[in-house]
Amino acid sequence: MSVSTTRPVRLLGLPGSLRQNSYSLAILRGLQAGLGAEAVLEIRDLQLPLYNQDEDGPNGPEAVHAFRRAIAEADGLVIATPEYNHGAPGVLKNALDWASRPYGQSVLTGKPVLIISSSPAFTGGVRAQAQLNETLLSVQALLVPGPQVVIGNVAAKVQDGRLVDEASLEFALAALRGLAALCRSASRLEAPAAVGS
Ligand SMILES: Cc1cc2nc3c(=O)[nH]c(=O)nc-3n(C[C@H](O)[C@H](O)[C@H](O)COP(=O)(O)O)c2cc1C
């Protein structure tokens, strides 16, 4: 079977908040709008049941199977998260716990991941980001190396449900290009030819 090595990188965006007007969701929407031809970003919410090991098996919740499939089919993940009480939101930790199993066969293992944290405060959710790094390292996800993408004062940087602050977008998009490069080297994808070449 021939496999195209020049398709765009497929990214899955996970907002760590279920709030309708979430800034985390707005960041992902802003990135979607700013992406070039090299990558596509699908956004998926984290409406999942609470993790219960008794229900974690072949007959487990369909929402969990679909979530794991979506991760498996993506080349890489972009997690945009707020900070709750100096840590990662339960919604996101819960989703990562589901994705971390079955033990030894997690769809997160070897998966390139970029974390972006934000807050209306100037601290930008940096403590949530540190916790998420630990969780993702425990399942051997591939974290994008480089500066942590932290967006402080985010309320002033979002308009009409989308991140519009130029400096924050540039910062995040540079990291996203790093993620795309990591995805390509992890799956031996080549970059699509530049338009016009
Ligand atoms: C339960 C709770 C705890 C919070 N704790 C923090 C915190 O520790 N640090 C922080 O910067 N913001 C904190 N916030 C404020 C969130 O950053 C803010 O509500 C943000 O808009 C949530 O992200 P979202 O816009 O993606 O929903 C907290 C908010 C809630 C609801």
The answer to whether position 193 is within a domain reads no
pLDDT digits (tens, 9 = 90+) for 57-90: 999 999 999 999 999 999 999 999 999 999 999 9
Within a 13 Å sphere around the CA of 57, how many CA atoms are in the beta-carbon half? Answer: 4
Q: Considering its fold, how many domains does the chain have in total?
A: 1
The answer to whether position 192 is within a domain reads no
The answer to whether position 65 is within a domain reads yes
Q: Of all protein residues, whose CA lies closest to atom 30 belonging to ligand 1?
A: 84
The answer to whether position 1 is within a domain reads no
pLDDT digits (tens, 9 = 90+) for 100-135: 999 999 999 999 999 999 999 999 999 999 999 999
Distance 57 CA to ligand 1 centre (A): 33
The answer to whether position 141 is within a domain reads yes
Distance 26 CA to ligand 1 centre (A): 14
The answer to whether position 3 is within a domain reads no
Q: Which two structure tokens, joined as six digits, stand for 95?
A: 């989703």
- With H, G, I as helix, E, B as strand and everything else as coil, classify residue 38: coil
Q: What are phi and psi of 59, to 5 degrees?
A: -95, 20
Which of 77, 81, 64, 74 is CA-nearest to residue 25?
A: 81
- Among 14, 19, 85, which is best to mutate for testing ligand 1, by the most ligand atoms less than 8 A from CB? 85
User: Does 167 score more than 80 pLDDT?
Assistant: yes
Q: Of all protein residues, whose CA lies closest to atom 27 belonging to ligand 1?
A: 22
Q: Which atom of ligand 1 has the smallest separation from the CA of 16?
A: 26
Distance 24 CA to ligand 1 centre (A): 10
Q: Which two structure tokens, joined as six digits, stand for 189?
A: 């994808």
The answer to whether position 195 is within a domain reads no
Distance 56 CA to ligand 1 centre (A): 30
Is any atom of ligand 1 closer than 6 Å to the C-beta of 84?
Answer: yes
Q: What is the mean pLDDT of residues 26-32?
A: 98
Which of 33, 25, 44, 29 is CA-nearest to residue 118?
A: 25
Is any atom of ligand 1 closer than 6 Å to the C-beta of 32?
Answer: no
- The CATH number of residue 71's host domain is 3.40.50.360
Amino acid identity of residue 139, one-letter, is V
Q: What are phi and psi of 105, to 5 degrees?
A: -130, 30
The answer to whether position 194 is within a domain reads no
User: Does 3 score more than 50 pLDDT?
Assistant: no
Q: Are strands 162-163 and 158-159 parallel, antiparallel or unpaired?
A: antiparallel
- Distance (Å, rounded) from C-alpha 23 to C-alpha 25? 5
pLDDT of residue 2: 36
Q: Which residue has the higher pLDDT, 3 or 41?
A: 41
Which of 42, 95, 89 is CA-nearest to residue 67?
A: 95
pLDDT band at residue 189 under the 50/70/90 scheme: low
pLDDT of residue 1: 35
- Distance (Å, rounded) from C-alpha 117 to C-alpha 132? 10
Q: Which domain holds residue 109?
A: 9-187
